[in-house]
Amino acid sequence: MTEELAFRGFEYAAAPESRAIVSLEDAYGHYVGGRWLEPSETYTTISPASEEPLAAVGQASAADVDAAVAAARSAFDSEWSALRPAERAKYLFRIARLLQERAREFAVLESLDGGKPIKESRDVDLPLAAAHFFYYAGWADKLEYAFPNRRPRPRGVAGQIIPWNFPLLMLAWKIAPALAAGNTVVLKPAETTPLTALLFCDVLRQAELPPGVVNIVTGDGRTGAALVEHDGVDKFAFTGSTEVGKAIQRELAGKGKGLTLELGGKAANIVFDDAPLDQAVEGIVNGIYFNQGHVCCAGSRLLVQESIEQPLVEKLKRRLSTLRVGDPLDKNTDVGAINSAAQLQKIEELVAAGEQEGAEIYQPPCRLPERGYWFVPTVFTGVAQSHRIAQEEIFGPVLSVLTFRTPEEAVEKANNTAYGLSAGIWTEKGSRILWMAQRMRAGVVWANTFNRFDPTSPFGGYKESGFGREGGLHGLEPYLRFDEDGGA
């Protein structure tokens, strides 16, 4: 089939999005107290699709982090906490509008720095990031209604560390509820994707947000550690790997600070024999190949009812051969570049383990660019629950297929993981959807759909996928303190 398509020359003409809308500085500092702080040390952020250097960015030292926390504290004490909530809301509305106005610029930069397809940064990341600010803007002066009888008030300075898979969107998930609740923020974007966070500082300038309310420091894990260890941070929020999440929880032990963690996942996407197979295939593809599989809630384990394994896998393989892998800035691209050399190495290691442990690998014929970091969309069949590729989060475009016979077995296998972030269910039977949904030990359950996100919809994990929710009214709670917590 694939050979036949290739023979007929079913190729798409290049449709690149113009880079001209983005004008990058040669070097960026840290955004502290509304000004650019000269970094003492820098590193280069590159485009993972071409390995082309994009800009020099700061590697924040403990002293830089200290300056950022001090600026956040000062802004909280002097201005932000005294501002009327309705005025606070208006700053957030402004930010939402500015992001909408500059959406194309941000989308291009996101794809450039992170490697994700432009159609995803354009149609998912940017609209959702703006929507998050718009949604939480409206909460800022309604907290008493959200939390009646609890006298909600801000915690103070929020420290936030975000991952590289949805850089600007994760920034929005973190900053919007924190500011709506009346806190000030020190945020560290991921080492490999700092540029949209730095461009966001220009949005803050345009919004005339008071200096110090949002501070952004860039750098690697050392910068993150300095922020976690800083005594001046009242509440900490982290999205990233379970390993680092545990280290943060340990570090904060005994300090009495607020903490929320949004960590890894190994979601089961469960397909029953009565599911509409073509729709399910689209859901499976979206579940694991969306954003190169760099998604904590990715449907990385396909649990398929035994009787339909063969036709489903056939359809899936055929669909895989039509995925367009390549230039993130091409508007036709489905799967972009792997975010970094380190991540590519991790994916390759786990895929090698999958082959070694006896699972059967399938990769469609695929021409990859010569430079940059790439990985062909991959399916493993014949996967056992004990295989590493069924247990460990790969965070790449790699799907492990397992089978089940009964709904009970599907539940057992789906929950057989230390993670508990998300799950997918595909069946036409309503009662079975609800029965399954009740039994999934996971914070988000998608039935007959997958990877849907919305600012009003709480997101977060069970078990080792972390605690706390982002999105919705629930996402405000970690940024507030209440009467029942005691103290002022």
Partner 1 sequence: MTRVPVRKTYKLYVGGAFPRSESGRTYEAEGHNIARGSRKDLRDAVRAARGAAAKWAGMTAYNRGQVLYRVAEMMEARTAELAELCEGREEVERAIDRVVWYAGWTDKLSQVLGGSNPVAGPYFNFTVPEPTGVVGIVAPAEPALLGLISRLAPVLAGGNVAVVIASEAHPRAAVELAEVLETSDVPAGVVNILTGLRDELAPHLAAHLDVDALDLDRGDAELERAAADNVKRVVFGRPDGQSPYDISKFVELKTVWHPTGR
Contact between 14 and partner 1 per CB under 8 A: no
The Cα–Cα gap between 433 and 436 comes to 5
Size of the site for partner 1 (CB under 8 A): 46
AA letter at 390: A
- Taking the complex as a whole, the smallest distance from the CB of residue 312 to partner 1 amounts, in Å, to 20
Contact status, residue 146 vs residue 217, Cβ threshold 8 Å: no
Coil, strand or helix at 469:
coil
The Cα–Cα gap between 172 and 132 comes to 6
* 192 or 260: CB nearest partner 1: 260
As given in the structure block, the two tokens for residue 286 are 């979206």
* 204 or 410: CB nearest partner 1: 410
Contact status, residue 67 vs residue 230, Cβ threshold 8 Å: no
Task: Answer yes or no: 297 catalytic.
Answer: no
* 62 or 247: CB nearest partner 1: 247
Contact between 476 and partner 1 per CB under 8 A: no
**Residue from 262, 393, 464, 477 carrying the catalytic annotation:** 262
* 31 or 450: CB nearest partner 1: 450
Contact between 456 and partner 1 per CB under 8 A: yes
* CB neighbour class for 118 (10 Å; exposed up to 12, middle 13-18, buried from 19): buried
**Residue from 296, 297, 393, 470 carrying the catalytic annotation:** 296
- Taking the complex as a whole, the smallest distance from the CB of residue 485 to partner 1 amounts, in Å, to 9
Single out the segment in contact with partner 1 by CB under 8 A; choices: 37-45, 70-78, 295-303, 468-476: 468-476
Paired sense of beta strands 42-46 and 53-58, if any: antiparallel
Contact status, residue 67 vs residue 74, Cβ threshold 8 Å: no
* 5 or 437: CB nearest partner 1: 437
The Cα–Cα gap between 72 and 215 comes to 7
Site of tokens 């078990």 = 463
As given in the structure block, the two tokens for residue 360 are 């059967």
Sites for partner 1 among residues 405-444 (CB under 8 A): 418, 433, 437, 440, 442-444
Q: Which of 137, 148, 122 lies closest to 176 in space, CA to CA? A: 137
Contact status, residue 421 vs residue 296, Cβ threshold 8 Å: yes
Contact between 332 and partner 1 per CB under 8 A: no
* 28 or 459: CB nearest partner 1: 459
* 231 or 484: CB nearest partner 1: 484
Sites for partner 1 among residues 95-114 (CB under 8 A): none
Task: Answer yes or no: 262 catalytic.
Answer: yes
Contact between 236 and partner 1 per CB under 8 A: no
* 196 or 422: CB nearest partner 1: 422
Sites for partner 1 among residues 140-199 (CB under 8 A): 150
Coil, strand or helix at 116:
coil
Contact between 238 and partner 1 per CB under 8 A: no
- Taking the complex as a whole, the smallest distance from the CB of residue 480 to partner 1 amounts, in Å, to 11
Distances from the Cα of 406 to the Cα of 29, 178, 278, 473, angstroms: 57, 44, 22, 37
Contact between 464 and partner 1 per CB under 8 A: yes
Contact between 131 and partner 1 per CB under 8 A: yes
- Taking the complex as a whole, the smallest distance from the CB of residue 399 to partner 1 amounts, in Å, to 21
- Taking the complex as a whole, the smallest distance from the CB of residue 487 to partner 1 amounts, in Å, to 12
Q: What is the dihedral of CA 109, 114, 116, 122, to 10 degrees?
A: -30
C-alpha 456 chain-centroid distance:
16
C-alpha 124 chain-centroid distance:
11
Single out the segment in contact with partner 1 by CB under 8 A; choices: 25-33, 136-144, 378-386, 459-467: 459-467
- 232, 364, 382, 458: which one contacts partner 1 (CB under 8 A)? 458
- Taking the complex as a whole, the smallest distance from the CB of residue 147 to partner 1 amounts, in Å, to 9
Q: Which of 107, 112, 140 lies closest to 124 in space, CA to CA? A: 107
The Cα–Cα gap between 185 and 160 comes to 7
Segment (H or E) for 120: helix 118-120
Sites for partner 1 among residues 239-298 (CB under 8 A): 242, 245-247, 249-250, 252-256, 261, 263
Contact between 460 and partner 1 per CB under 8 A: yes
Neighbouring CB atoms inside 10 A of 322's CB total 13
Contact between 463 and partner 1 per CB under 8 A: yes
Residue 240 falls in which region: left (phi positive, over 0), alpha (psi -120 to 50) or beta: left
Neighbouring CB atoms inside 10 A of 263's CB total 27
Contact status, residue 382 vs residue 333, Cβ threshold 8 Å: no
- Taking the complex as a whole, the smallest distance from the CB of residue 410 to partner 1 amounts, in Å, to 16
- Interacting residues with partner 1 (CB under 8 A): 131, 150, 242, 245-247, 249-250, 252-256, 261, 263, 418, 433, 437, 440, 442-449, 452, 454, 456-460, 462-467, 469, 472, 474, 482, 484, 486
Write out the catalytic residue numbers: 262, 296
